[in-house]
Amino acid sequence: MVKLVISPSGALDLPMKIDRDLTDATPRLEEAAQKILRGTKFEPGENYKKNVSVSIVFELVPCGAVTHEPTTDYRINLCLDPSPYANFNFTEHPPSVFEEQIHKILIHGDLADIDFLEDTLGLRYRVTRPVPSPYAHGDDHGLHVLVTPTLVPKTLKIQGLNYGSLTDAAGNRSALILEFIPIECPDIALWAARWKIPSTSGTDPHGNGHGTDFQWGGEHGIRVNIGYSTGGGCQMFLSQNKESGEPFSSHTDSDLISPTPLVRSIGAMLASGDVRDVARTERVLHARFTTAGPGAFGVHYELQNIIPGIDPISFEYSVNDTGKEPSPFGAISYVPPVPANRSARLWLTVDVYHLCVRREQLPTELHRRGIRFRRSSSDGDDIYVMQGQNEIRMQIRLFSGCVRGIGISQITDVKHALKISTPQS
């Protein structure tokens, strides 16, 4: 707040006076305010006010949160955009189709509206009503709306697509999150600048990448976050906290998928004795895979199409011939790799509310194919070990009488294996 005296000519009588009672600013901003006013010409004459006050507000975007003193004669707003897009020519770089889709979701402001998400992004889901989650851990006793994609647009990868919802124990609040991997990583700092909202960025202290996020629509609006990996690629999240009791979808369905094709596919893979045969695995699962090629710890395959009844969020298929794997402590700080068996691994997560494989169906299929195995239990999971030229191990995880997870792994060099499983019959 600056108090001025205007001379009869319209010029300022210096020095200006800072009103200390109504000013909340550092000396640097006080000096800037005086520079702004110095040289200002006002209308001269006897009919004009000679003693005036000027309120000057300095803000970073978004602006409008700091209010002026209502009794001031003049008010000046200075809004500074510190982002790298402060002078960006947005007209020469129109928004992409994907950016417009996300913008529509933010304006709609309701992640519980699965129908709107589907129509906007070009997705299709199988949707349940709020049910106990087969993936819950610890004290998570809330209800979840579970969705499994049946159609995925070309803008998103099949894997990494996940929708999560959780109602608290009292049924008062819902936490919603839509997670996906874009085919082309967007610059959401640019999006935020285009939409005139602030964004924040940070770097992973372990050197794995960096992230950017922003909040749309206040406390109960949608938060957008994206993590950029150092090695390329990104993962994007839309999240929201809402009042519970939302109408998640008009097409919640309870139609069941026959478990027979999946059971027969698993039987055919085990009967082959070779989990690492990618072409056969594609054929028996009616799937397509792609890979970026060998990495530091073998080859990881990405799923390219929907397998009916299989949730792609945690699909894993890999072959590791390197004889080493990351240390379990490597996420905290750099730790050298540790020795590991040469192995192949496949993990399938089953949509138990639409495809129910009963506990005995898989061992029955093994018996039907004449596959000999040893059976045991570990931490509530069923373990089946098939001894052949190379040991194959199948792990079955259960939920409410249905198989929710199927893990198949094979040590591909038994002769030099670090450890061989020896479960009891």
State pLDDT tens for residues 325-374: 888 765 555 678 888 888 999 999 999 999 999 999 999 999 999 999 99
Q: Answer whether 354's CB lies under 8 Å from 257's CB.
A: yes
pLDDT at 393: 94
Spatial CB neighbours of 323, under 8 Å, sequence gap ≥ 6? 339, 340, 341, 342
Range with top average pLDDT, 43-52, 287-296, 383-392? 287-296
Distance CA 17, CA 5 (A): 9
| Residue with more model confidence, 256 or 250 | 256
H-helix segments, 326-369: 361-368
The answer to whether 404 touches 134, Cβ cutoff 8 Å, is: yes
Residue 23 has pLDDT above 80, yes or no: yes
Give the separation between CA 210 and CA 227, rounded to whole angstroms. 6
Higher pLDDT, 328 or 165: 165
Element (H, E) at 62: none
The rounded distance, in Å, linking the Cα atoms of 205 and 202 is 9
- Count CB atoms within 10 A of the CB of residue 330: 14
Burial of 346 (0-12, 13-18, 19+ CB in 10 A): buried
Indicate if the pLDDT at residue 419 is higher than 70.
no
How far apart, in whole angstroms, are the C-alpha atoms of residue 97 and residue 118?
A: 15
Instruction: Give the orientation angle of helix 260-272 with respect to helix 361-368, to 10 degrees.
Output: 50
Task: Indicate the pLDDT class of residue 425, thresholds 50, 70 and 90.
Answer: very low
- pLDDT at 423 (0 to 100): 44
pLDDT at position 424: 41
Most confident of 85-99, 152-166, 355-369, 380-394: 355-369
Quick one: pLDDT band at residue 234, thresholds 50, 70, 90? very high
Signed CA dihedral, 182, 186, 188, 189: sign only: positive
Choice between 220 and 417, residue whose per-residue pLDDT is larger:
220
Under DSSP, the state recorded for 39 is: T
Which helix (H) or strand (E) segment holds residue 231: the answer is none
Amino acid at 122: G
Q: What percent of the chain has pLDDT over 90?
A: 49
Residue 421 has pLDDT above 70, yes or no: no
Query: CB-based burial of residue 91 (10 Å sphere; 0-12 exposed, 13-18 middle, 19+ buried)?
Result: exposed
Please indicate whether residue 113 or residue 203 has the higher confidence score (pLDDT): 113
What CA–CA distance (Å, rounded) separates 298 from 323?
9
pLDDT at 180 over 70: yes
